[in-house]
Structure 1
Amino acid sequence: MRAPLRPGTLTLRNAQVMDRAGVFVADHDVVVRDGVIESVAPAAGPVTGESLDLTGLWLMPGVVDCHAHLACFEEDTLRYLSMSTSRWALECAGSAARLLDQGVTFVRDPCGADAGVRDGIHAGLVPGPTTQVAVSALSQTGGHGDGHLPGVGLEASNGFLMHEYPGRPPYLADGVDDVRRAVRLIVRAGADWIKICTTGGLLSPGHDHPDVPEFDADEIEAIVREATRAGKPVMSHAYGGSGLTDAVTAGVRSIEHGARLSEEQAALMARRGTFLVPTLSVLHELVRLRDDGAVSESVAAKVSEVEPLIGEAVRVARAAGVPIALGTDLTEQVGNLAEIAYLHRAGLTPQEALLAATANGAELCGQSDVRGRLEPGLIGDAIVLAADPSDPEVFLERRNVVGVIQGGRVHRWSAEPERRTRP
Structure 2
Amino acid sequence: MCLEATPPPSPSVTRRGILAGAAALAGTVAAGGTAAATAGTTAGSSSPAGAPRGGNPAGGDLVIRGGTLLDPATGEVTENAVVLIEGGTVRAAGREGTITVPQGARTLDADGQWVLPGLVDAHIHLSTAAEARDAVRKGATSARSGSTTFYQDIAVRELARHSPDLAPRLTAAGVFVTPDLGDTLLADPDLTPLVRLKDGVRSAEALRRVVEVNLARGADVIKTRVNERAGLPEQDPLAQVYSYEQLAEIVAAARRRGKGVLCHSYSEKGCHDAVTAGIRSLEHGAFVGERTLVEMRRRGTYFTPTLSAIAGMIDSPNPILAERGRTYLPLLKRAVLAAHELGVPLAAGTDSSGGTVRPIGREVELMRSAGLSALDAIRTATTGAARLLGVERTVGRLARGFAGDAVLVSGDPLADVTLLKQPTTVIRAGLPT
2:262 is matched with which residue: 229, 235, 249?
Answer: 235
The corresponding residue for 1:269 is 296
The corresponding residue for 1:87 is none
The corresponding residue for 2:63 is 11
The corresponding residue for 1:182 is 210
Provide the secondary structure at the position in 1 that maps to 2:403.
Answer: coil
User: What per-residue deviation string (whole Å, max 9, x for no partner) do you get for residues 44-96 of structure 1?
Assistant: 1884211112222100010100011113xxxxxxxxxxxxxxxxxxxx11000
Q: Is it true that 1:24 corresponds to 2:77 in the alignment?
A: yes
The corresponding residue for 1:212 is 239
The corresponding residue for 2:44 is none
| RMSD over equivalenced CA pairs, Å | 2.4
Return the TM-score normalized by structure 2: 0.79
- 8 A Cα contact 1:93 1:128, kept in partner: yes
Residue 169 (structure 1) shift: 4.8
Residue 393 (structure 1) shift: 4.0
Q: Give, in whole Å, the separation in 1 of the partners of 2:324 and 2:275.
A: 24
Residue 197 (structure 1) shift: 0.3
- Closer, same or farther: CA 209–397 of 1 in aligned 2, 3 Å: same
Residue 235 (structure 1) shift: 0.4
- Closer, same or farther: CA 369–163 of 1 in aligned 2, 3 Å: farther
**Count of equivalent residues:** 366
Structure 1 residues 26-45: aligned runs within 5 Å: 26-44=79-97
Provide the secondary structure at the position in 2 that maps to 1:21.
Answer: coil
Q: Give, in whole Å, the separation in 1 of the partners of 2:85 and 2:191.
A: 40
- Closer, same or farther: CA 163–312 of 1 in aligned 2, 3 Å: farther
Q: Give, in whole Å, the separation in 2 of the partners of 1:205 and 1:176.
A: 30
Counterpart residue type for residue 161 of structure 2: H
The corresponding residue for 2:145 is 109
Return the TM-score normalized by structure 1: 0.80
- 8 A Cα contact 1:93 1:126, kept in partner: no
Counterpart residue type for residue 190 of structure 1: G
Residue 37 (structure 1) shift: 0.9
The corresponding residue for 2:281 is 254
- Closer, same or farther: CA 393–126 of 1 in aligned 2, 3 Å: closer
The corresponding residue for 2:424 is 402
Q: Give, in whole Å, the separation in 2 of the partners of 1:376 and 1:167.
A: 45
Q: Is it true that 1:367 corresponds to 2:391 in the alignment?
A: yes
- Closer, same or farther: CA 96–62 of 1 in aligned 2, 3 Å: same
The corresponding residue for 1:318 is 340
- Closer, same or farther: CA 313–164 of 1 in aligned 2, 3 Å: farther
Provide the secondary structure at the position in 2 that maps to 1:52.
Answer: strand
- 8 A Cα contact 1:340 1:395, kept in partner: no
The corresponding residue for 1:56 is 112
The corresponding residue for 1:421 is none
- 8 A Cα contact 2:285 2:332, kept in partner: no
Q: 5+ residue gaps in structure 1? A: 72-91, 147-154, 157-161, 412-423
The corresponding residue for 1:225 is 252
The corresponding residue for 1:121 is 160
Q: Give, in whole Å, the separation in 2 of the partners of 1:303 and 1:394.
A: 21
Provide the secondary structure at the position in 2 that maps to 1:66.
Answer: strand
Q: Give, in whole Å, the separation in 2 of the partners of 1:36 and 1:202.
A: 40
Q: Give, in whole Å, the separation in 2 of the partners of 1:174 and 1:225.
A: 15
Q: Is it true that 1:328 corresponds to 2:380 in the alignment?
A: no
Provide the secondary structure at the position in 1 that maps to 2:385.
Answer: helix
Provide the secondary structure at the position in 2 that maps to 1:14.
Answer: strand
Counterpart residue type for residue 259 of structure 1: A
Q: Give, in whole Å, the separation in 1 of the partners of 2:239 and 2:63.
A: 53
Residue 196 (structure 1) shift: 0.7
Q: Give, in whole Å, the separation in 1 of the partners of 2:162 and 2:217.
A: 18
Provide the secondary structure at the position in 2 that maps to 1:256.
Answer: strand
Residue 43 (structure 1) shift: 0.6
- 8 A Cα contact 1:28 1:43, kept in partner: yes
Q: Give, in whole Å, the separation in 2 of the partners of 1:224 and 1:300.
A: 33
- 8 A Cα contact 2:139 2:426, kept in partner: yes
Residue 300 (structure 1) shift: 4.6
Provide the secondary structure at the position in 2 that maps to 1:235.
Answer: strand
Q: Give, in whole Å, the separation in 2 of the partners of 1:217 and 1:350.
A: 36
Provide the secondary structure at the position in 2 that maps to 1:351.
Answer: helix
User: What per-residue deviation string (whole Å, max 9, x for no partner) do you get for residues 319-371 of structure 1?
Assistant: 21100011011164543321111110011100001111111111000101111
Q: Give, in whole Å, the separation in 1 of the partners of 2:109 and 2:309.
A: 36
Q: Give, in whole Å, the separation in 2 of the partners of 1:28 and 1:14.
A: 5
- Closer, same or farther: CA 346–125 of 1 in aligned 2, 3 Å: closer
